[in-house]
Amino acid sequence: MASLVGQPLEALDTPQLLLDLDIIDANLRRMFDAGEKRGVAVRTHFKSLKCAGLARYIHARGGRTFLCAKLNEAEVLADAGLTDILIANQIVGSIKMRRLAELAKRAQVRVCVDQPANVEELSAAMQQAGVTLGVLVEVDIGMARCGVAAGEPALALAKLIAQQGLRFDGLQGYDGHLQLLDKADEKRTKAMEGLAQLVGTRRLIEKAGIPVRVVTGAGTGTWEYAAGYDGVTEIQPGSFVLMDCAYHAVRPEFGCALTILSSVISRRPTWYVLDAGSKAISKDFGAPVIKDHARENVVKLSEEHAKVECDGADAKVGEQREVIPAHCCATMNLHRQCLGVRKGKVEVVWPIEASGRYD
């Protein structure tokens, strides 16, 4: 699709996933400058991107390290030559053990654990392959998903990791339950409570004579609490790069770079219909919004259509609209390519290699 490069938006077929590169540049600069000022590394979450070309673009602008939610995402990064990778998840099962061992031969890869049996499984697989694997103990700091309790349970798992011949690198504590919380005082209080548990666990492990090189956590919604918190070494935001209308409501300092270019295909006096529905625009965090058209409101997404109430606004059949989704990560997962645009023209076309994959 190289022929799309240089094309203005009005010349494009629809629907198309667009990434505004000027907005991405501003978002990156804001986050990376803040991390540098506060003395904390920023590890960009690839689950929000799923696109190797975009990851390389970020790398060239100072984002040297990445984390993933899935093994396939880590493989895409390594294929792109980006080899400082944290898989912020548990990797389980013989098939994935073999893939992880192969990945560890060509990348500096770390994984998270919260079960003794998984530690033993990882140890056996890595020893058989003759590779070294970095491991973080995941600490549950309030999300109630994965992770062990702070304190002694985490210490016990750290000791087991060392005994099993793996490389204990540190701790992860993610406060995903706070990311979209819109009550600033409550968010800060709960985030600081979680960080205190995480760093307290670090001190306990260090007191036992085990070095802790990495303490990582937070996200786009809570980054400023973790950045600069004594004992935290890195933060792991992802949505800040692209953003969406749900996140923008609580983090307005980051611009919405991701839109779905759509066309009006039907018109009534009080509504119109776009040619992009739930197969192109994720709705799991709420309704999307129409960019730069405040009087036009998306009221329904079916598979191939978006119904938009327009209150008498002048929207004609054939006109284009850019739709800002409510969840950037899930929307990227729906598409196979994205168009990087700048000042209304296509600058680059990137495949989204990890979209539609769950392995």
Residue 226 lies in a domain: yes
What are the DSSP calls for 12-58, one per residue? S-SSEEEEEHHHHHHHHHHHHHHHHHHT-EEEEEGGGT--HHHHHHH
Q: Which residues of 15-47 are buried (b: 16+ CB within 10 A; e: fewer)?
A: bbbbbbbebbeebbeebbebbeebebbbbbbbb
- Do 174 and 295 fall within a single domain? no
On whether both 153 and 300 belong to a single domain, the answer is no
Count of helix runs (H) and strand runs (E) in the chain: 10, 17
Predicted pLDDT at 2: 58
Q: Do 45 and 169 belong to one domain?
A: yes
Quote the pLDDT of residue 59. Answer: 98
The predicted model scores a pTM of: 0.96
What pLDDT is attached to residue 65?
Answer: 98
User: pLDDT tens digits for 90-133?
Assistant: 999 999 999 999 999 999 999 999 999 999 999 999 999 999 99
Q: To which residue do tokens 């990137």 refer?
A: 350
The DSSP line for 237-297 is: --TTTT--HHHHHH-TTS---EEEEEEEEEE-SSEEEES--TTTS--TTS--EETT-TT-E
Task: Say if residues 238 and 254 touch (Cβ distance below 8 Å).
Answer: no
Residues 311 and 219 in one domain: no
- C-alpha angle with apex 62: 16 to 182, nearest 5 degrees? 65
Q: How confident is the model at residue 201 (pLDDT cuts 50, 70, 90)?
A: very high
Predicted local distance difference test score (pLDDT) of residue 90: 98
Give mean pLDDT, residues 202-230: 97
Same domain for 313 and 167: no
- Tally of domains within the chain: 2
Are residue 35 and residue 118 in the same domain, yes or no? yes
Query: Length of the chain in residues, anyone?
Result: 359
CA–CA distance, 54 with 82 (Å, rounded to integer): 12
Rounded Cα distance between 67 and 55, Å, is 11
Chain mean position to CA 355: 13
User: What span, in angstroms and rounded, lies between the C-alpha atoms of 187 and 349?
Assistant: 38
Per-residue pLDDT at 311: 80
Nearest Cα residue to 82 out of 44, 39, 31, 130: 44
For 271-286, the pLDDT digits (tens) are 999 999 999 999 889 9
Tell which of 190, 214, 241 closes a domain: 241
**So what's the pLDDT on residue 313?**
73
Contact of 321 with 274, CB cutoff 8 Å: yes
Residue-wise pLDDT for 288-337, tens only, equals: 999 999 999 999 999 999 999 998 778 999 999 999 999 999 999 999 99
Residue-range definition of the domain harbouring residue 212: 22-241
pLDDT at 229 over 70: yes
CATH of the domain at 278: 2.40.37.20
- Cα 318 to Cα 333: distance, rounded to the nearest angstrom: 27
- Do residue 135 and residue 226 come from a single domain? yes
**Residue-wise burial string across 102-117, b where 16 or more C-beta atoms lie within 10 A, e elsewhere:** ebbeebebbbbbbeee
Up-side HSE of residue 4: CA atoms within 13 Å toward CB?
Answer: 20
Q: Which residues pair with 341 in a beta bridge?
A: 20, 346
Please, what is the average pLDDT of the chain? 97
Q: Are residues 149 and 259 in the same domain?
A: no
Same domain, yes or no: 207 and 343: no
Question: What is the greatest pairwise CA distance in the chain?
Answer: 72
